Amino acid sequence: MIEPVDSLEITVVVDNVTDSLSSTPKLVETEFAGAWRRGMKWLGGKCLCCAAHGLSCLITVRTGGASHSLLFDTGPDEWVFERNVVRLSLDLGQVGAMMLSHGHWDHAGAMPRALQLITLTNGGKSVPTYMHPDMFSPRAIVPPDGRLMPMEDIPSEQVLAGNGAQLVITRDEQSVLSGSFYISGEIARVTPFERGLPGQHRLNEDGKWELDELLMDERFVAVHIANKGLFVFTACSHAGLINVLTHGKQSLPRHTDLWRARWFSPGWPNRNHHTRYHRSAGQIQSGGDRRRALHRLEGDRRAGDAIWKSSCAFSGWKTFPAVKCTFRRNQLRTLPG
């Protein structure tokens, strides 16, 4: 289904938080180190990226002399996206495809500007852009106090196509960029405790708001590094981490012993969902191989601790905005923590 690659490089373009003080393993280039390599002469705010609620990652794989790049979400806002792209000196002309993980504004807000920046630097070629048909319904959150809080719509098909997207709107799994990336189909929901986004509604065709908590438009991306296993990109993972990894195991049975799967999800774990993630940690603990895996989970120490203690079969990876991580086939299987 997908081709193994030699290396995987993840550049976090936009993330919820910024952190230039925590220590990082060698395979991570911090924001300061990257800025220095690109010519920064003194530390100063004008050289630095901005954090914003949401996510955008530029994912590049290399095999032999060939490389492919996929833009996974764009964050909430065009200004933040463009500011960070400039600060990171990213060559968006290399982006061969774009994908939206699910239909939420904090991942989709900068898609039109991203398409403009890509097509300005790739000679005007249209950009295969992978979407799910249910993403385009207007959405709202109804918190426990009963207010209906509408969300900003994601950019329409017309806006995306008008800015250079070659839309692929489907519920089905896809193998893209010469088979080096896997984009899942709809993620089967098999656990009782992963229930999506409580209180989410969508506007149906009759103009009425209806419950839409499962977010069936969410999909994940996977990359297979040779001799290392699958890396799974789950974004906010409203589908639930266990559902995502279970679906990955069933969809790509020939590609991995799933104990080697690593998830990469800057938005995870989320402070608002302690219970769910603690249960997820328990589920991981009870599942199969107990090989020690290392975790780097920031943002929610308690959930991170629970998973750390589980000696689980999976490892998580959490990093900060505006950093670059490179994983290679010849690195040790166990990632540094």
Contacts with Zn ion by CB under 5 A lie at 104, 106, 236
DSSP secondary structure string for all residues of 142-187:
--TT---EEPPPPPPHHHHHHTTEEEEE-SS-EEETTTTEEE--SP
CB-based contact 232:245 (threshold 8 Å): yes
Q: What whole-number distance in Å separates Cα of residue 211 and Cα of residue 137?
A: 12
- The residue (of 104 and 324) whose beta carbon lies closer to Zn ion is 104
Q: What whole-number distance in Å separates Cα of residue 21 and Cα of residue 87?
A: 19
What is the nearest approach in angstroms of Zn ion to the Cβ of residue 54? 6
- The residue (of 28 and 236) whose beta carbon lies closer to Zn ion is 236
What is the nearest approach in angstroms of Zn ion to the Cβ of residue 259? 27
CB-based contact 267:16 (threshold 8 Å): yes
Cα angle for residues 115, 91, 298 (degrees, 5° grid)? 90
Q: What whole-number distance in Å separates Cα of residue 337 and Cα of residue 24?
A: 8
Give per-residue burial for 158-183: e unless 16+ CB within 10 Å, then b.
Answer: eebeebbbeeeeeeebbebbeebbbb
What is the nearest approach in angstroms of Zn ion to the Cβ of residue 310? 25
Alpha helices (H) along the chain: 31-37, 78-87, 105-108, 111-121, 157-162, 241-251, 274-285, 301-309
What is the nearest approach in angstroms of Zn ion to the Cβ of residue 197? 7
Strands 165-169 and 127-131: parallel
What is the nearest approach in angstroms of Zn ion to the Cβ of residue 204? 20
CA dihedral 320, 326, 327, 329 (to 10 degrees): 180
- The residue (of 104 and 219) whose beta carbon lies closer to Zn ion is 104
- The residue (of 3 and 106) whose beta carbon lies closer to Zn ion is 106
What letter represents residue 50's amino acid? C
What is the nearest approach in angstroms of Zn ion to the Cβ of residue 309? 27
- The residue (of 239 and 335) whose beta carbon lies closer to Zn ion is 239
What is the nearest approach in angstroms of Zn ion to the Cβ of residue 336? 27
- The residue (of 29 and 212) whose beta carbon lies closer to Zn ion is 212
- The residue (of 16 and 163) whose beta carbon lies closer to Zn ion is 16
CB-based contact 280:245 (threshold 8 Å): no
